[in-house]
Amino acid sequence: MGLLVTILAGAVIGWIASKIMGTDAQMGAIANIIAGIVGAAIGGFILSGGQATGSAGFSVPQFLVGIVGACILIFVVKLITGGTRRAV
């Protein structure tokens, strides 16, 4: 059950972050899930002062930190790739 919640939360976090960063048209569902999960880990790592911590459960602050982390991840990826858009 925890894996399903992680995937769903990652999808929502990644989708919101891609909307904020203006990359929603280029990202698919899998990319949104990955961005959300990795972004939440990045945000949690930054918020904890560089300490790798794990936490069970769900809270609004964790959700917001995940969105910020996913935005940072998308920004870095855009910076590395030059912000290129792929043709649809």
Greater pLDDT, 82 or 72? 72
87 falls within a domain: no
Structural domains counted in the chain: 1
Query: So what's the pLDDT on residue 68?
Result: 92
Question: Do 82 and 19 meet the contact criterion of CB atoms below 8 Å apart?
Answer: no
Domain housing 8? 2-81
Residues 6+ apart with CB under 8 A from 19: none
73 falls within a domain: yes
45 falls within a domain: yes
Query: So what's the pLDDT on residue 87?
Result: 44
H helix intervals, the chain: 2-21, 29-47, 60-81
22 falls within a domain: yes
Query: So what's the pLDDT on residue 2?
Result: 77
Burial of 75 (0-12, 13-18, 19+ CB in 10 A): middle
Q: What is the pTM of this model?
A: 0.79
Tens of pLDDT, residue by residue over 9-67, are: 889 999 999 999 988 777 788 888 899 889 888 888 888 776 655 555 667 888 898 99
Q: Which residue has the tokens 């909307």?
A: 19
